[in-house]
Each structure stands twice: as structure tokens, then as C-alpha cells.
Structure 1
């Protein structure tokens, strides 16, 4: 709803903070009350950004997701998800420190790693590690679904950490399970558009993340073009 650096350097409870909050309040009021139809409304979009909401909805729908816990207690981690785990941010994965930008990627660790002592600083998602054979980016627009795949062999756990891989996806024929699951998640979260991350392992496919406003133009033209056309068709519809 605002530029990425909109609040950067703003002191909480300062005059500048009050002014910018007022502008955002005006904007969100317009979005909610001006009578314009949205492919995805602001309220479902904000709700669906929460990964714990996504996880809860997926479990209700019977969609496979990695075992997940949010805790600052290592013993709880070991009991809930085992020792081979993945840690990822529950909140924003981007921040600035002394004007240097940082991205927090998902990281694979052991549940007895001393690194986990830092979990008390901020809530993180701790999940059972899924050993992926391939990564899927699944895009939905209303009742339509497309998919692209990335070979997970010799890839980092989080493929976003390797910039070259952003252009290495190929068109994928989605299984009925994944296609139905992706559309069911989008419907349950009231998302007219979604960009979802799935992992295909030896024991099946797992939903990892739902991006209510995720990117799609980095995908192969055979996927990116029809997604763009579907969004344009909705915008130009009656």
C-alpha cells in the first residue's frame, strides 16, 4: 500500500509517524469504501499474509504442510517437529541495519543447535524439514491455475537465495492434488490471485507458503503470459 521505504527511519510517536499513519488511514478507507471491486480485497490480502493463518487453513482443508511450531523453547521444538528442522521468519523477512539491506531466508538447522537460543528475540516459524526433489511455484487467478517447477538438486534450501534460479523454472504439469489444493487455499483465503510455493518430496507434495501478491513474471513465458492475460481479462471484465 506504500513504498517499501515509507516508514524507514520514522520515529514511533513522532509527528512524521502521525502524518504518515494518517495518509495510510485515508488510503485504506478509500480502498474499503470507494465501491471499486478488487481481484483480492485489502482485508483478505492482509489476513492471508500471516503464515500461521495459512498453516491453519491448510490443515483444515487436509492439505499437507510441514509440522510447524512457534516457540522459544528448544525442547518444544524437538518434541513437535524433530531434530531436522527449518527456521523461517514469521514476520517481515527484510530489514535495514545501519542503512544496509538484509534478507532473512529460510535456514536448515538441527534442533539442538545453539543458534536456536536466539528464538527468544522474535517469533520464528520452526518446521519439520521437507527434503524436496523439486520446488513448485503455483499461480492461481480466480478458478484458473498454472505451475512451474525448479529442480531442487544441489539448490539452497531457499531457492530465492540463488538469484540465477529465479530464471531457471520450467513449465510443470501439476498433479490433481496440487492443483486442487492450490485453488482450495485461494478460495478459503478469499484470494482472487495467489502465488504459492510447494515442495515435492518422495512422500508427496507439501504446501510451504501462500503469497497473496507474489511475483509471477520471472516464470517461463508459457506461465507468465496466461497469468497476465487472466488478470487483464478480469480488470477489463464487466
Structure 2
């Protein structure tokens, strides 16, 4: 059986579920946001091994039955509504998250893309940039700092063609309004704002000219590369995520064999069966690595290009079912 950990309205899971059914794979779709308010977890130590039972929707599931776990987009634990005090709720939800992390660590299953704490570690851009460089990817010169005095000489080295990125792509609120920091060119005006850089670190890189951008999705030993034609609009010149649906067009891209091999080597070196790699194809034909996201989104790429990513994910998950795929790794 396959355990899917994700929120109930996850469109990506909805894309994969029919393909799991086509393959005859049993699965349980459970959202950890139902714990501890609606679901129960019991763990019993016998000798040196744990026996875990998940109770949800009136049924008990022994976690030893789960041959694969898809850690997709789980909601955080939620305290019961009967717990009304804010501090008490925060306590209940914090210890529930700690328990779930420990619960995951004692699962003897294949994980896609990985256990929660492993995924958090592998989202580290410092780790991933160095790993890509070791494998021979072309990577931009990179400075990460909140020291304004280090910014000026780096900006000059780049001939004034410098971009700034977040250490992690997050949404935040200011005055009740949602904001997101996209990749942004560093201008002379920014050089006068010491305060902005000093309060928060930024990733700084020389601007790399783009012919197209590439979103490369790795699933097991399969590589799906999509072209993003983002340079037709000023809105998406620096970051295709900025109004991407309105201004960008998409297509299937054939990677050179050496680049494809490096993509597979990168996910393997990080212990990942899945990853979304962002790259640039420059006007002079160079493939430049930007980053890998172990939880990157793929549904929009499949919808735009027809690349069978959902089928590949279903294959990977179902391959852990020995009765369905005899001889497969379990």
C-alpha cells in the first residue's frame, strides 16, 4: 500500500491518483493536518523496533503495510477545536509536529521525495550549489551576504549586471498584504539602501543572459525537460514566475546527454528520487545551473507540455508494490 501525505485539495495528487488506480495500486491519502484533532497515532516499542498504527476515518492502518510514502504537501498538525487558548494550541501543534518527524524517521518505506526533515535539509541552496558545481554543472559566481560592504565590489565585478534572489522562496505579509520576493536586478538605487540588505541575507549572482529557461523534473531515472520562453516580456525577463501564465510559453526540450546525466547524478548524490532543476540556456548555447527544489511543482509543466510526469510518479510509487512489479526494489 502507498501512503500519500498531502492536503485534501492538492491538484497534483488528483493527477496521480487515477494513474495509481490504473496500475492496481492501493493507497491511503491522509493529511497530517488532521492530527491530533481527528486522527490517532499509536507507537509501541517491541525489542528494538517500533510498531506504528495510524487511525483515520474509523480504520486502523499498520504503517508496516506502506511500501512507499509520497510526502507531497502535508498540512501542519492542527489542535482540536476544544483547545481554545492560543499558547496551548501552539504547544499541542508543536509537540505533534515533533512526534510526526520521529514517526517518519522510523518508517521502513521508500520515501518520495524524502522525509520532512531530510527535505528541509536538501532545500539548502548552499549545499545544492556546491553539489552541482562538483558534478561539473556550470554555475554562476555566487555571493550570499547581509554585509553591504561586500555588495559594492561584487556589483562592480559583475559590471553592474547583478541580480538578487531570496535564500528561500517564501510569502510574507506587510500591513496585511501578501508579498513575494522575485529575482530582481540590483540597480544603483539599491546601492544606496544599506538597511534593506543588512536586515536580511540575499543571494547575489551576475545576471546570466537567457535564450530560454528550463524546468527539468527528475523522477527516479527519468528526466523531463521543459522550455520556458520567458524573454518576450519585461515582466518575466528576470524571473519566469512573475506573471508566468500570461507572458511565457512552454515546450518540450531535448537535453544534451551530458546535461541529462548530470541531472540524474545530482539527485542521486543528494539521495533524492525527485527534484525540479532550474537552468538557463544562454544565447551562446551554455547550460547554466541555478537551483534544485526537492518539492518543486510539476503539475503546471505537465499541463503546458504534455510531459507524462504524473505517470512517472505513479510508476515510482507503484514499483514499491512487490505484487504489482515483481523483482522491483522495495
TM-score above 0.5, yes or no: yes
After superposition, the C-alpha distances for 1:127-182 in whole angstroms (9 at most, x for unaligned) are 11111110000000111101010123233210101142587211111122331222
Using the size of structure 1 for normalisation, the TM-score is: 0.86
TM norm structure 2: 0.64
Aligned equivalent of 1:214, options 281, 289, 296: 296
The secondary structure found in structure 1 opposite 2:118 is helix
Change (3 A) 1:169 1:220: farther
Contact in 2 for aligned 1:159/1:165 (Cα 8 Å)? no
Equivalents in 2 of 1:205, 1:199: separation in Å?
Answer: 6
User: Does the 8 A contact of 1:216 with 1:224 survive in 2?
Assistant: no
Residue 167 of structure 2 is aligned to residue 90 of structure 1: yes
Match of 2:127 among 25, 47, 53: 53
Give how far 1:221 is off: 4.9
Task: Pick which of 42-51 and 184-193 moved more.
Answer: 42-51
Q: Which segments of 5 or more consecutive residues in structure 1 lack a partner in the other structure?
A: 7-12
Say if 2:140 and 2:206, in contact at 8 Å, map to a contact too. yes
Bigger Rg, structure 1 or 2: 2
Moved over 6 A (4+): none
Counterparts of residues 163-178 of structure 1 (less than 5 Å): 163-165=244-246, 168-178=249-259
Query: Does residue 122 of structure 1 match 2:200?
Result: yes
Distance 1:167 1:73, change over 3 A: closer
User: 1:185 matched to which residue of 2?
Assistant: 266
Alignment of 1:71 with 2:175, yes or no, is: no
The answer (yes or no) to whether the contact 1:167–1:219 under 8 Å persists in 2 is: no
1:197 deviation in Å? Answer: 0.8
* Partners of 1:66 and 1:128 within 8 A in 2: yes
* Structure 2: unaligned runs, 5 residues or longer: 1-72, 79-85, 323-330
Cα deviations across residues 54-108 of structure 1 (Å, max 9, x unaligned)?
Answer: 1111122221111111123344234445231110111342112343221111101
Alignment match, 1:3: 75
CA distance in 2, matches of 1:4, 1:159: 29
Q: Could you say what secondary structure the match of 1:95 adopts?
A: strand
Q: Distance in 2 between matches of 1:144 and 1:116?
A: 45
Match of 1:232 among 308, 314, 321: 314
Structure 1 residue 188 displacement after superposition: 1.3
Aligned equivalents of 2:198, 2:77: Cα separation in 1: 27
Query: What does residue range 96-111 of structure 1 map to in structure 2 within 5 Å?
Result: 96-110=173-187
Equivalenced residue count is 232
**Distance in 2 separating the partners of 1:234 and 1:220:** 17
Q: Distance in 2 between matches of 1:97 and 1:5?
A: 26
Higher relative contact order (CA 8 A, sep 6+): 1
Alignment correspondent of 1:162:
243
Aligned residue for 1:195? 276
Residue aligning to 1:25:
98
Within 2, Cα distance between the matches of 1:5 and 1:154?
Answer: 43
CA distance change for structure 1 residues 105 and 128 in 2, over 3 Å: closer, same or farther?
same
Deviation at 1:211, TM superposition (A): 1.1
